[in-house]
Amino acid sequence: MRIATTIFLTDRTVSPTHLARTLEERGFAGLYLPEHTHIPVSRTTSAPMGGELPEQYGRTLDPFVALAQAAAVTRRLHLGTGITLVAQHDPIGLAKQAATLDHLSNGRLTLGIGYGWNVEEAADHGVDWPTRRERVRAHMALMRALWSPKPTAYESPYGSVQASLAYPKPATPPRELPAGERLHGPRTLIGGAAGPKLFAAVADHADGWLPIGGGGLTENLPVLRQVWEDAGRDPKTLQVVPYAVQPTPGKLAHYAELGIEEVVLQLPSAREEEVLRTLDDYAQYL
């Protein structure tokens, strides 16, 4: 099982370059970073974990800039977003960012995507909250059009692009889909809670699922696998990566029994000394 990590990197934590070097030197598989552009102080949306929203949510570094720094000082460490708030982006610009990072890192990018939880943050980006799922699907389709090897047009109510020259192309090879189609772009995992809508989206336009916290996999994995196969996807290609996990030996052993090949462990949003102490503790799982 590959052991990756995630952390809220901020202007007060360990730097991306130092953390990335340390993770690679110690044998960790990857570094995933979350995204929030801002947190409106008038927020009425409840924090996803309940209670007060931790300070780091409003201080988070841009994940693509931070991961580019990490890519520049490593050679093997995989790089991921967990998650990119796709509805809040211009998809043409996001396609360029993701393709550039995947190209410069020689195919090390995982694009973790999701629908978000903060209504006020999304509203400032012009996102109509009830349409966010349709918007994410359309944005991803537009991005795949730009990542295609031939100029490909795409049009939807949420964004359009003419057939265009768009380079660099992602370094990650395309994956086979039913009916001879291909999935272009970096490895893409959709984060979110289990349910029919989420699983349908995973089977439609992703490589797998990024279950936040990793709970409920025993019940939900068989359901997702059935949805995946019903969509004509190859059962061997489904990837499920438990994310932001607080590990125990028993929990990781259970994941291994379920066939999980990668898990992302949560690091504290802290300075170097505390992060290194946590990595010392996590070394038992490598």
- Give the whole-angstrom CA distance, residue 215 versus residue 129: 26
pLDDT at 229 over 90: yes
Residue 51: per-residue pLDDT: 85
Residue 50: pLDDT band with limits 50, 70, 90: confident
Q: What is the pLDDT of residue 166?
A: 98
Judge whether 189 and 206 are in contact, CB under 8 Å: yes
Query: What's the pLDDT band for 243 if we cut at 50, 70, 90?
Result: very high
* pLDDT tens for each residue of 189-200: 999 999 999 999
- The pLDDT score that the predictor gives to residue 168 is 98
CB 153 within 8 A of CB 163: yes
Structure tokens at 64: 């693509």
The pLDDT, as a whole number, for residue 246 is 97
Looking at residue 48, what is its pLDDT? 84
**In sequence order, which residues have a C-beta less than 8 Å from that of residue 133 and are 6 or more positions away?**
115, 197, 201
Neighbour-count burial of 241, counting CB atoms closer than 10 A to its CB (0-12 exposed, 13-18 middle, 19+ buried): buried
To the nearest whole number, what is the mean pLDDT of the chain? 97
Distances (CA, A) of 33 to 60, 64, 83, 217: 9, 9, 7, 22
- Hey, CA dihedral for 242, 247, 252, 258, is it positive or negative? negative
pLDDT for 44 equals: 87
Asked if residue 207 lies in contact with residue 232, where contact means CB atoms within 8 angstroms, the answer is no
Q: Using CA atoms of 212, 86, 235, 204 in order, give the dihedral in degrees to the nearest 10.
A: 130
Please write the tens of the pLDDT for every residue from 76-132: 999 999 999 999 999 999 999 999 999 999 999 999 999 999 999 999 999 999 999
Give the separation between CA 186 and CA 189, rounded to whole angstroms.
Answer: 10
Q: Model-level pTM?
A: 0.97
